[in-house]
Amino acid sequence: MPAVREHMSRNLLTVVPGETITDVAQRMVERNLGAVLVLDGGRLVGIMTERDIMRAVARGLHADAVVAEYMTKHPETIEPDDTTQQAAVLMIHGGFRHLPVVERDDLVGILSIRDLVRIALEDSAPRGV
């Protein structure tokens, strides 16, 4: 199984807990992202996903609602040298689709379920078409 570092995204969108959800959602749409990583003082403190935003809307999102109110706090993480199989197991058992990658407390990437599907399909793509 390949290492997480071979397939994680390093092009991260990070936000701070005090940013408004509407501003963050607009940035997510602009970059076509399903999740942003929430940093406080340079440390990972949460993740805001499409699912978190849907929950906020369902609860009656107010215009000045901030990320800290609705983010998933202290998300599961994985290390870059862990395998993509370990990542898949964490995602499946945890019921989430985005996994921050942390090395010695430093955020270095994110791995999504889409990344894992690409790995699974690499050998099954038609060739010469």
Query: Residue 62 domain-assigned?
Result: yes
What was the pLDDT predicted at 115?
Answer: 92
What was the pLDDT predicted at 17?
Answer: 98
Query: Residue 34 domain-assigned?
Result: yes
SS (HEC) of 8-37: CECCCCEECCCCEHHHHHHHHHHHCCCEEE
Query: Residue 67 domain-assigned?
Result: yes
What was the pLDDT predicted at 121?
Answer: 84
Q: How many CB atoms lie within 10 A of CB 97?
A: 16
* C-alpha–C-alpha distance, residues 68 and 97, integer Å: 20
The model carries a pTM of 0.89
Query: Residue 129 domain-assigned?
Result: no
Per-residue pLDDT of the chain (129 residues; tens, 9 = 90+): 899 999 999 989 999 999 999 999 999 999 999 999 999 999 999 999 999 999 999 999 998 999 999 999 999 999 999 999 999 999 999 999 999 999 998 999 999 999 999 888 876 656 655
What was the pLDDT predicted at 26?
Answer: 97
- How many folded domains does the chain comprise? 1
Angle in degrees, 0-180, between the axes of helices 84-94 and 113-121, rounded to the nearest 10: 130
For residue 88, give its domain range. 4-124
Query: Residue 85 domain-assigned?
Result: yes
CATH number of the domain within which 51 lies: 3.10.580.10
Query: Residue 20 domain-assigned?
Result: yes
